[in-house]
Structure 1
């Protein structure tokens, strides 16, 4: 990590950025460039009950990104929530798309996977296996240069543990738990259709494709708000986005009660030592942006929730290009100092990854 990430205290340094083929500078913001964008959605809770067929899964996958990211997506990997990652999701949904991408040479100029929530876990499994799968099928592995993981659930969610404990009869649910689960899922699923929730248990998620050998950077975009009036936050350790705790969204090596993705920067942008900042990350996981008021869904939607801060100054992509953001320092009361991403007072987190105009 130390070799690729500059000290966050080195502020006011202009970094030319290429995010999803996008070049950032303070004067000129280019449109998406030559990279191909593949989006992978997160958990769609209604599917746990409706159990849609493949055509409906595809339709709902398109709808998932409709508000903002669909306009930038060259391809999607859609998957059903009521199935398991290493079973039906891998065989019937991931593998056919990988074959298609390889045959179409989609990723020859380089692909960036844009994931949300559980899509982070899907991407990790894909990255861990795609080279072997495609090589064994006589196809060329995909040239994936990075992933941009919004509200990444690759480290699991304690909410999934609660739901599965209730389903399996291993835990009594009080009214607060039931209310939190109803806000998140709508209703408690059954054992037969709990699907990917099993993979989202914290211990299970962290064992899935755990020892990846790929060197593809997982660049993280982290929120700290809630769509559920903090009702779900009662059951998530440390800071969270209403669905996933910071240990997962930041990409921490081990789960704990983290308040920030940095030892030196709060999610509010305040510069200073963080007693509960992440100190160790999963391989090639780099938190780039934290937005204190952005919830689990806000990070990928066309909604502005205030200024955001940047944990690192630059990260190297798999093809040697560097990505980062321009930042500025602001003084607060009583000598406090804050670090913010330039123009984040005007643009959403997703807009900062694509285009400001």
Structure 2
């Protein structure tokens, strides 16, 4: 399905978070991981070595050993600040010098990693050219539970930390479930960037045409505690407007106007119709939580908002789906299912399809 690229040469940068593994590629393309928010770092303010070990642990369930490079970053910093200058920029230089993306590479992101990667995509070519280096050839991103549209939970957490938000026990429960504690003004870090308006203004219209391929769940790890504070359908951390890549924040029930999260084929009046530039939703599932989408356990059947999408170089990611009738007589409905999704995790389905 995809032409093979040359494998990257192995290299290591002492003390900082980078990982190289021979033959760890998707369809011949080297894989670069960009993780999401790690709440415990807001207060712990980890050093570079701790950022690296946290990054390795973040992806261990599935993607860590299937990737060539990791870009790890600390939650107590800001995206356009030290995350970019001290963690992203050194990695971009290294990948350029090593020719990691010379024949194309794929970024795999989760949660806030979606936002970090959008800022990276918007700036990497200019940064590298100004340094006399070759820009990266990123052919696509695989964005799991993307928080590029921000999270209303971040707005609430920052308001509480600054003392400008009223807090009742339900809100306290929701924020504590998500972050592990109630933040204070000194440890909000990247939560500032995750506020919905802030996130949507950060590199909102990148010049790059890199396709952002979206994989979305609608379950929750928090027993529904966070859902009341997120509009529309959510995965416990981000609402569908963010994970699907909707052009505007809003209350959406699906990434598609024709397919529900559970695969039912029917008009979705609250489905997303307009998307951010080059954002394309593919897989959806009612039962996958925010963290479950990058795990190695099947959590529910998976459907497809779209069964395929093209990379920047016109190679294609394609999923095998089938439609079936469920129910009886006039009470029956048609459902779309990704083949083998009842016993294969979402991440594994993406990896298998890409290879």
Give the TM-score normalised by the residue count of structure 2: 0.91
SS at match of 1:109: coil
Taking the aligned partners of 1:346 and 1:59, their CA distance within structure 2 comes to: 30
**Structure 1 unaligned spans of 5+:** 1-15, 22-30
Taking the aligned partners of 1:172 and 1:189, their CA distance within structure 2 comes to: 14
Match of 1:337 in 2: 334
Residues 114 and 146, structure 2, Cα contact 8 Å, conserved in 1: yes
Residues 130 and 142, structure 1, Cα contact 8 Å, conserved in 2: yes
Taking the aligned partners of 1:217 and 1:264, their CA distance within structure 2 comes to: 22
Question: In the alignment, is residue 200 of structure 1 matched against residue 194 of structure 2?
Answer: yes
Match of 1:181 in 2: 175
Taking the aligned partners of 2:185 and 2:282, their CA distance within structure 1 comes to: 37
Match of 2:345 in 1: 348
Q: CA deviation at 1:355?
A: 3.2
Taking the aligned partners of 2:183 and 2:82, their CA distance within structure 1 comes to: 19
Q: CA deviation at 1:313?
A: 2.8
Question: In the alignment, is residue 96 of structure 1 matched against residue 90 of structure 2?
Answer: yes
Question: In the alignment, is residue 190 of structure 1 matched against residue 198 of structure 2?
Answer: no
Taking the aligned partners of 1:216 and 1:134, their CA distance within structure 2 comes to: 17
Match 1:252 to one of 237, 246, 250: 246
Deviations 1:235-281 (Å, cap 9, x if unpaired)? 00000000000000000000110000001110000001011000100
Match 2:322 to one of 302, 324, 328: 328
Of stretches 98-107 and 313-322 in structure 1, the one that deviates more from structure 2 is 313-322
Match of 1:152 in 2: 146
Taking the aligned partners of 1:108 and 1:268, their CA distance within structure 2 comes to: 39
Q: CA deviation at 1:17?
A: 8.1
Q: CA deviation at 1:314?
A: 2.1
Deviations 1:51-97 (Å, cap 9, x if unpaired)? 11011101111111111111111000000000000001000000000
Question: In the alignment, is residue 40 of structure 1 matched against residue 34 of structure 2?
Answer: yes
Question: In the alignment, is residue 301 of structure 1 matched against residue 298 of structure 2?
Answer: no
Residues 34 and 109, structure 1, Cα contact 8 Å, conserved in 2: no
**Structure 2 unaligned spans of 5+:** 7-24
Question: In the alignment, is residue 224 of structure 1 matched against residue 221 of structure 2?
Answer: no
Q: CA deviation at 1:337?
A: 0.3
Taking the aligned partners of 1:315 and 1:131, their CA distance within structure 2 comes to: 24
Question: In the alignment, is residue 209 of structure 1 matched against residue 206 of structure 2?
Answer: no
Match of 1:57 in 2: 51
Stretches of 4+ moved more than 2 A in 1? none
Residues 151 and 222, structure 1, Cα contact 8 Å, conserved in 2: yes
Match 1:136 to one of 120, 130, 140: 130
Match of 2:22 in 1: none
Taking the aligned partners of 2:286 and 2:195, their CA distance within structure 1 comes to: 25
Taking the aligned partners of 2:294 and 2:340, their CA distance within structure 1 comes to: 17
SS at match of 2:142: strand
Residues 224 and 293, structure 1, Cα contact 8 Å, conserved in 2: yes
Taking the aligned partners of 1:216 and 1:289, their CA distance within structure 2 comes to: 18
Q: CA deviation at 1:102?
A: 0.2
Taking the aligned partners of 2:130 and 2:165, their CA distance within structure 1 comes to: 44
Q: CA deviation at 1:101?
A: 0.2
